[in-house]
Amino acid sequence: MSRRLLSKADIDAYVTVALRWTERGEIQGLPEPARSVLTVTRDNASDVGQRLWYGNARRFIEFDEADFAHDPGAWEDIQEDKAWWESVTPYVFQEFPGQPHPETAFRIAAFYSYQSADDDWERWSPDGPRFEVAFTTSVKWLALRQLGLVQSSAVPEPFADELRIDLSGRPTYDASGWGLSENDRDLFLRIA
């Protein structure tokens, strides 16, 4: 778990992954919740991005000072991030050009979950998982299926062993970076 707000470029790349999969028809026929959360169109991309970005920022917004009594410096950092978040205008999607490689998609999902307190995420509940949990789990699962590393036909629980595959050492995964900036908007063109 980390405590970093993601950049707009991180969210844009993440939403672009699902948009490209939707455009290529890879979402049709997927089981729920993958089909509904990964169906991204140009009409709903900004809404999906806003939900993902809020899911990342949620932990900064919902904590209070008592949660950081053991680390006052962390609380000060959280307050700076919270002030920044509250000043952000509504998210507007800007797609990345190119086609994301499955290893790059997995790395983006792994970064999102790490920075969004994934060790605090609940398991599937009768009401279903929060949107960002379902989205991230579904991206990891579909990327691993595309790579032929998982065979399951159902989306696993968020912490299932089949999603804990270490892709480090693979050239595409390693070249995909850990966190994106505006200078990385050509990521899907550079890494195919």
Q: What would the pLDDT profile of 67-93 be if each residue is shown by its tens digit?
A: 555 666 666 666 666 666 666 668 899
Cα-based distances in Å from 106 to 2, 22, 149: 18, 16, 12
Q: What is the pLDDT of residue 102?
A: 95
Distance of CA 55 to the CA centre of its chain: 9
Q: What would the pLDDT profile of 140-177 be if each residue is shown by its tens digit?
A: 999 999 999 988 787 877 777 778 888 988 888 888 88
Q: Which two tokens stand for residue 85?
A: 């978040």
For the chain, the maximum distance between any two Cα atoms, rounded to a whole number of angstroms, is 49
What's 92's DSSP letter?
Answer: -
Domain boundaries, given as residue ranges, for the chain: 8-190
Q: With H, G, I as helix, E, B as strand and everything else as coil, classify residue 58.
A: helix
| Full-model pTM | 0.83
Q: What would the pLDDT profile of 126-138 be if each residue is shown by its tens digit?
A: 555 678 888 998 9
pLDDT band (50, 70, 90) for residue 53: confident
**Rounded distance, CA 101 to CA 173, Å?**
9
Average pLDDT value for residue range 5-33: 92
Instruction: Please give the share of the chain, as a percent, with pLDDT higher than 70.
Output: 74
User: Which carries the bigger pLDDT value, residue 189 or residue 90?
Assistant: 189
Q: What is the pLDDT of residue 124?
A: 45
User: Amino acid identity, residue 50?
Assistant: Q
